[in-house]
Chains A and B, each alone.
Chain A
Amino acid sequence: MSKPSIQELERIASQVRRDIVRMVHAVNSGHPGGSLGCTDFFVALYFSQMNRKEGFDMDGLNEDIFFLSNGHISPVFYSVLARAGYFEVAELSTFRKLDSRLQGHPATEEGLPGIRIASGSLGQGLSVANGAAQAKKLNGEDNLVYILMGDGELEEGQVWEAAMYAAHHKIDNLIATVDFNGQQIDGPTEEVMSLGDLRGKWEAFGWEVMESNGNDMAEINAGIEKAKSLAGNGKPVMNLMKTEMGFGVDFMVGTHKWHGVAPNVEQLADALGQLEETLGDY
């Protein structure tokens, strides 16, 4: 299967952003800001960069697998999984509703294809990714494990336990990405809890560190390709990906205010007017 062009990926991303704002509007809850900011990354990963098998099985043998640690950006995860064929796009309309497989935060209990771990309580995903990457090594696979974390999430101590472990055990089939948008619920990270020199911190923990732009489809793809080229060299790879929260909807961009707030009817219409319907709304 040939890889989609940058233009095709951008068209998918536009539809995913429509899905996100429609999903959170429908239940007047959920997290649009981080979801919109990471849309381009998810689309690049699932439609171009990951080596995926058809269908879904929990073990994910002989394919690249992805974990979402900051589970609150579930809208983008669900939309991309559905658009990538893991389940019917129509199911997006059940998001956050009773008896849905699309829980507020991702969960495995309802058996939603594409989800391998529950996340929402922050700071746990990198540990899980460590284990999954080591299982791949034990199984003799050369596939990669991807994980996305929020930047505010790095305030959790467990992340640094996992960082130390990955370097010590030379888990070099692991590509971690930080959604570096500089925002968290209570405000800018620099005000809530400054992250300091993130590159220096990860380098000091023994990681191969790179930076990339997370809101330009061509640059994201180049970034992930660079991360892949850095894998397999005895060190885990950290991709510090600069994004803007709310990217793609002008009144949501660059502020923590849309972290966990849904647009009202007028705001939804405004947002949808900025996002072309390319693949058909669910």
Chain B
Amino acid sequence: MTKFTYTEKQDTRSGFGAGLAELGRTNPNVVALCADLVGSLKMQEFIKENPERFFQVGIAEANMMGIAAGLTIGGKVPFTGTFANFSTGRVYDQIRQSIAYSEKNVKICASHAGLTLGEDGATHQILEDVGMMKMLPNMTVINPCDYNQTKAATIAIAEHHGPVYLRFGRPKMPIFTPADQKFEIGKALKLIEGTDVTIFATGHLVWEAIEAEAALAEQGISAEVINIHTIKPLDVEAILESAAKTGCVVTAEEHQMNGGLGDSVAQTLALNNPTPLEMVAVNDQFGESGTPAQLMKKYGIDAENIIKAVHRVMKRK
């Protein structure tokens, strides 16, 4: 299998911006909305090229979700852009009634998710968004891992009919997936083959899992790394197959333990094939101000904590 390396770092939100700009050129039904965060969401290119298909909503996220639902009536494919916090918790009922229950083809694009938002602190560092969104019937939940994958996912969700929550972040992260990838919703990607333990990771934690795997290999532990970019619908088959092979599992994500990827994997395993599992996630706490690296270390969601979780779970086999 390929060893993963990188030469460039870029933020996943820029991947979203690039994907949206490409959609602007290829799909005349794609429209975009933003609640006063055009620069943060990297939407400028789409807006410059398609001013008539962009709607500035101002600081009014509830209204934005309703407008997006309305735009689908008439055949548009709306992409909403704001921070993950304001894309979910602030507007949960609007998404629930006007989008999810009403089965509207809205793409909720959420930047600055998780702790790696950094210095702005816990008011903005949402760690509950995946849980809220995955609980909604009809909702697809996607958390890509790098710039290229976020761009590919942005393009792919326009072709999928139905509401989607697309989660990405602020910091510059290694680009290690191919630029020409085709993104398949709901299809887990096995990045590294292994036999002793499986690490299921999503979003920014995929790179941490890759780093953890290299360190574990030096210790003689063969870890399988699987990128779960789609948390709902979950690739149950891939999870069960790998867990059965390695016999123990670690999940890794930038989210609360409650309601995140770990939750979904645990449910899948418990219902089908109970397997020892450890979760690398934030444990029922709010974040705080700091650099992304400091926060990931303090709240236990970096490569080092994945390695520790692997050691714990292997003892439980």
Contact = CB atoms under 8 A, between A and B. Distances in A.
Nearest to B78: A131
Contact of B97 (A121, A131, A157, A165): A121
Given A128-B98, A129-B70, A138 B53 contact: yes
A164 B62 CA distance: 13
B74 A165 contact: no
Interface string B117-128: 000000000000
B103 A138 contact: no
A139 B63 contact: no
Name the residue among A108, A127, A133, A157 with the largest chain B CB count within 10 angstroms: A127
Contact of A128 (B52, B55, B58, B67): B67
B70 A133 contact: yes
B24 to A, nearest CB: 14
Contacts of A183: none
Contacts of A128: 66-67, 69-70, 73, 98
B186 to A, nearest CB: 22
B75 A127 contact: no
A135 B98 contact: no
B294 interface: no
Interface residues of B, number: 32
Contact of B102 (A65, A108, A157): A108
B74 A138 contact: yes
B73 A169 contact: no
Contacts of A133: 70
B313 interface: no
A130 B74 contact: no
Given A158-B63, A169-B55, A132 B71 contact: yes
B50 to A, nearest CB: 11
A121 B73 contact: no
A132 B73 contact: yes
Interface string B49-68: 00011010110101111111
Interface of B: 31, 52-53, 55, 57-58, 60, 62-76, 78, 93-94, 96-98, 101-104
Given A124-B62, A162-B67, 11 more contacts: A58-B73, A59-B74, A117-B102, A118-B97, A124-B93, A124-B94, A128-B98, A130-B67, A135-B73, A161-B58, A165-B63
18 contacts: A61-B74, A109-B103, A121-B97, A124-B62, A127-B69, A128-B67, A128-B69, A128-B70, A130-B66, A132-B70, A138-B52, A138-B74, A157-B62, A158-B60, A161-B60, A162-B67, A164-B58, A165-B63
